[in-house]
Amino acid sequence: MLHAADGVEEVVLVDSREDRIRNLARSYKTAPWHNALAPALAHVDAVVVATPPSTHVAVALQAIEAGKHVLVEKPLAPTSEGARRLESAARAAGVVLMVGHTFEYNPAVRKLRELVQNEELGEVYYIDSARLNLGLYQNDVNVILDLAPHDISIINHVLGRKPVAAQAWASRHAHRRFEDVAYLRLFYDDFFDDRGLSANIHVSWLDPCKVRRVTAVGSQKMAVYDDLAADDRIRVLDKGVCLPADGDNMTQPPTSYRYGDIVVPFIAPDEPLAVQDRHFIECIASGARPLTDGQNGLAVVEALEAAELSRRLGRPVLLEELSSVGRFTQSFSLGNGHSPSSGNGHSPSSGNGHSPGSATRVVAVPGRLSAAAPPPTFPSQGAR
């Protein structure tokens, strides 16, 4: 993807594993490669961090402190403390910080947002999301940190706001250390309001069926976004329940159901990873703030952290509680969050060292290029 993006002059490959980097180098014959980030930094303007989540903060800080623009794969960091460090380091260095919330660049998700924001579904009652499959098991984070960033970023984007509280249950079956099945509930209104807007998320590495589905249920209509569907990724269903005429009688259930047309809106055939990469390059060139900037990444990490805390405490957690439970976030931290001593002999470049409109040299650390290599993924099969 990056090779093909306008404005990218050259892509440099980096992976600390010799076998991985040799494989990558075979696929991208003309691309220079390194088995550490430090020697690559002198030759690039920007870095894509696609290493395991526990390493995101250390690798991204190394790049930011060298004055490079950074696109970090989801989640931005394993803790909100790490995400904040990246935000403030990028601000201080004057570089672009973007998080790879790929689904926010997915035309189907944008359509769902449009339906919700234009109130075509009426008042949104709740959103339900399922991201299930057999695998891919990870070895540095649980299924919540691996998969739920997608669902949370989609739901935040569609609703245009972030949750106020989270609740989570998780269980560990086939993994020695990490939970492989989890259920999250995010509260977007007052937590104590049982009619408030909420979202339910089911994520699993241990399910016989591959499911990538988001359902938005409104007072007028319902919409289903199925990322695995070939032609009808979004369906808008004119279905609902009608309240009983005797609206004050709390003992009566809804008396009638509405079954109407099912509409399949046209979705532009854009590959989300390519859209995301183009946006990153454009933001570097123009100095614009990315759609999925550090704050956007932090919002998702805070929801993950509240869910993780809820799972451990066995009770719902308000996001505003997080600042007062710093001790928890420290122990939850998987990466060391510290900038590695660069020892690279390169002094940080002044600002971003990049003039608007000039070509960008990007270092991919690593995996993203292999994930994005032909055959092309469509519409978002590269996304878990």
Ligand X SMILES: NC(=O)c1ccc[n+]([C@@H]2O[C@H](COP(=O)([O-])OP(=O)(O)OC[C@H]3O[C@@H](n4cnc5c(N)ncnc54)[C@H](O)[C@@H]3O)[C@@H](O)[C@H]2O)c1
Cβ pair 148, 108 in contact under 8 A: no
CB of 379 to ligand X, least distance (A): 12
Residue 367 touches ligand X, criterion: CB under 6 A: yes
Please, what is the minimum distance in Å from the beta carbon of residue 197 to ligand X? 26
| CB-nearer residue toward ligand X: 198 or 302 | 302
Residues from 74 through 103 that contact ligand X (CB under 6 A): 74, 100, 102
Q: If you search the block for the tokens 């241990």, which residue do you land on?
A: 206
For 52, half-sphere exposure in the C-beta direction (CA atoms, 13 angstrom radius) is: 11
**Torsion sign over Cα 46, 50, 53, 59:** negative
Tokens at residue 101, please?
Answer: 């919330």
Closest CA to 264 of 110, 105, 108: 108
Nearer to ligand X, 87 or 104 (CB): 104
Count of residues that bind ligand X according to CB under 6 A = 22
| Contact residue for ligand X among 4, 6, 17, 351 (CB under 6 A) | 17
Nearer of residues 71 and 267 to ligand X, judged by Cβ: 71
- Shorter beta-carbon distance to ligand X: residue 73 or 124: 73
**Rule CB under 6 A: is residue 52 a binding residue for ligand X?**
yes
Side-chain-side CA neighbours of 130 within 13 Å: the count stands at 12
The owner of tokens 């003309």 is 30
Cβ closest to ligand X, residue 290 vs residue 367:
367
Q: Which residues contact 45 (CB under 8 A, 6 or more apart)?
A: 68, 69, 284, 352, 353, 354, 360, 361, 362
The residue assigned the tokens 């989801």 is: 74
- Nearest CB to ligand X, comparing residues 1 and 124: 1
Q: Closest separation between CB of residue 55 and ligand X, Å?
A: 5
**Binding of residue 265 to ligand X (CB under 6 A):** no
Residues that bind ligand X (CB under 6 A): 14-17, 20, 37, 50-53, 55, 59, 73-74, 100, 102, 365-367, 382-384
